[in-house]
Amino acid sequence: MTEGLLPDPATLAQMTPDQIRALLADMPDAHLAALAEATEPAEQGERVDLLPHQEPPPPGWDGWVLMGGRGCGKTFTTAYFLGQLASSVPGLRGRIIAPTLADAVNSVVNDPQSGILAHFPKAVLKTSGVEGVRLSFPNASTLWCVGTPSKKDVDRLRALTNIDIDHFEEAAANPMLAEAVSQAALSRRGNRLPKPVWMASTTPRPTEQIKAWKASSEDVLGEGEIVVLRKARLQDNPYTPDAYHHHAERLKGTRIYRQEILGEILEDVEGALWTQTDFDRSVGPVRWQDLVKVVVGVDPPSGAGTCGIVVVGKDTNGHVWVLADYSIEDAQPGEWARRVVQASEDFGGCLVVAETNQGGRMVTSVLKAAKQTLPVQTVVATEGKKTRAEPIAVLWEAEEQIAHLSGDVPSGVSLDLLVDQCLQWVPGVGNSPDRVDAMVWAATYLLPEVIKQWKVVGTIIGGRGRTAGGTVVGAGKVSWTGGRKAAQ
């Protein structure tokens, strides 16, 4: 009955709102009723009332940034808004731009609770064809899914033009965010909304683009685009499971709690050997089974403190990967020794590298009592923690990074507290960095030649690369450039 009432979807998608209104004005009432039935918005799933921080800003914004802690409902908010817009505006053209294609599809589209398809089931995810991965709606609206992990992927945004809306999912985790934002803006010139707009949802990190968005939202003079920044904490979402709230509470007092749970933008700690940028650009996929060697670094406690237990591996390129943090707090010797055994066994019965300054032969005895056949190599600290840690920190800072964090950590051995300690520890200030020390022992064992060369040059220059102009280039080669880091 509706055949021939409207132009084909492709033509309709290119029409302006005024042209569509003129077309509908000349249509008989009976045809309008049939058309309304045929173009009814996609059937919605169970309605979830929006929380205050999930309500979209009043009209007029160019960009909407929802910045919040884990579990505050960011993905649901933006996915639901995108679904509503796409189902109500015929021919809408939008993009979901994420760190990877899998992030866009699995989180924004397919998530059974938060994804678009959970609330707009008449939309169809299409994964084949020359148009690429996209979500198609009955009214000819399309949302393309794009991952931008590299410059080559960012350039793919050029192929999608006349875009009405862009959504940057987990923006701060996107390694090419600034480039993607710039490239996307060039093709955001659709006319199916009053003006093209963009959204971003993210757990905040102090990246340049995040800081720029924050500054734009505080532009009281109204110069430039209108950016609305909304903030939220995990605690603002009553629907998050209690078990996750309990887990979050255990992180209280750390930088990771303030950033990942409260959604704060944290600046780097002056004097710390590591920066947030060091870690943001170092996370990558790795299978420990593919590494040439894996060891467990152990920094035993002096008394009832934390026993640092960190697993580190080395790949065929001579790069080290931090794989897991099994550190245990306030444990008796037998208890932390069993934890060391567990770490070794989880990674194929690998070697344990344990410092003996805080217990001498007792350390080996305790570990052997936990498992007689446990392979153990003891090390003795003859230098301060800062001197030992500096070379490893430089490996993260280098243009051609040699140190990395695994992006696939076994359940229950998160690297969050280790990273938090790296970012907060200022040599000579505060408590002993037990987790950091365990990681340093393991990495030093795996890269003895790199560490030896760094120490020779570092002694001559008198400090770490960030202040003395040094860099580590390639696997096992150290060079100094006299002022800035540069690859050779």
Structure tokens at 249: 């509470």
pTM of this structure: 0.60
Measure the N-to-C terminal CA separation of the chain; round to a whole number of Å: 69
Q: Which CATH class is domain 276-381+403-445?
A: alpha beta
Contact 105, 97 (CB under 8 A): no
Domain parsing of the chain, residue ranges: 9-38, 52-249, 276-381+403-445
Fill in the amino acid letter for 153. D
Nearest to 121 by CA among 65, 217, 227, 46: 46
3-state SS record for the chain: CCCCCCCCHHHHHHCCHHHHHHHHHCCCHHHHHHHHHHCCCCCCCCCCCCCHHHCCCCCCCCEEEEEECCCCCHHHHHHHHHHHHHHHCCCCEEEEEECCHHHHHHHHHCCCCCCHHHHCCCCEEECCCCCCCEEECCCCCEEEEEECCCHHHHHHHHHCCCCCEEEEECHHHCCCHHHHHHHHHHCCCCCCCCCCEEEEEECCCCCHHHHHHHHHHCCCCCCCCCEEEEEECHHHCCCCCHHHHHHHHCCCCCHHHHHHHCCCCCCCCCCCCCCHHHHHCCEECCCHHHCCEEEEEEECCCCCCCEEEEEEEECCCCCEEEEEECCECCCCHHHHHHHHHHHHHHCCCCEEEEECCCCCHHHHHHHHHHCCCCCEEEECCCCCHHHHHHHHHHHHHCCCCCEEEECCCCCCCCCHHHHHHHHHCCCCCCCCCHHHHHHHHHHHHHCHHHHHHHHHHHHHHCCCHHHHCEEECCCCCEEECCCCCCCC
Rounded Cα distance between 340 and 326, Å, is 8
207, 291, 381, 459 from 426: Cα distances, Å: 22, 31, 19, 20
Contact 135, 143 (CB under 8 A): yes
Residue 157 pairs with which residues in a beta bridge?
none
CA dihedral (430, 433, 436, 442) in degrees, to 10, reads 140
Phi-psi region of 388 (alpha: psi -120 to 50; beta: other; left: phi over 0): alpha
pLDDT for res 465:
39
Rounded Cα distance between 404 and 319, Å, is 8
Residue with tokens 């934890």: 339
Contact 349, 296 (CB under 8 A): no
Residue with tokens 């003795």: 380
Nearest to 98 by CA among 111, 88, 85, 89: 111
Rounded Cα distance between 313 and 290, Å, is 10
pLDDT for res 271:
84
> Digits of tens for pLDDT over the chain (488 positions)?
444 555 655 566 666 666 766 776 776 666 555 555 544 544 444 456 788 888 888 888 999 999 888 888 888 899 999 999 999 999 999 999 999 999 999 999 999 888 999 999 999 999 988 888 999 999 999 999 999 988 999 998 988 999 999 999 999 888 899 999 999 999 999 999 999 999 999 888 878 888 888 888 876 556 678 888 888 888 888 888 888 888 787 777 777 777 778 777 777 777 888 888 788 778 888 899 999 999 999 999 877 678 999 999 999 999 999 999 999 988 888 999 999 999 999 999 999 999 987 666 788 899 999 999 999 998 888 788 888 888 888 888 776 678 888 878 888 888 988 988 998 888 877 677 899 999 999 999 998 887 776 655 443 333 333 333 343 333 333 333 322 232 22
Q: Is 285 exposed, middle or buried (0-12, 13-18, 19+ CB in 10 A)?
A: exposed
Nearest to 80 by CA among 123, 125, 118: 118
Nearest to 404 by CA among 317, 278, 293: 278
Contact 204, 67 (CB under 8 A): yes
Letter string b/e over residues 434-463, b meaning 16 or more CB atoms within 10 A of that residue's CB? bbbbbbbbbbbbbbeebbebbbeebeeeee
Rounded Cα distance between 66 and 180, Å, is 18
CATH of span 52-249: 3.40.50.300
Rounded Cα distance between 480 and 105, Å, is 44
Structure tokens at 1: 């009955």
Rounded Cα distance between 472 and 437, Å, is 21
Residue 304 pairs with which residues in a beta bridge?
none
Q: What are phi and psi of 294, to 5 degrees?
A: -130, 135
Q: How many CA atoms lie within 13 A of 257 on its CB side?
A: 13
101, 347, 374 from 168: Cα distances, Å: 12, 36, 48
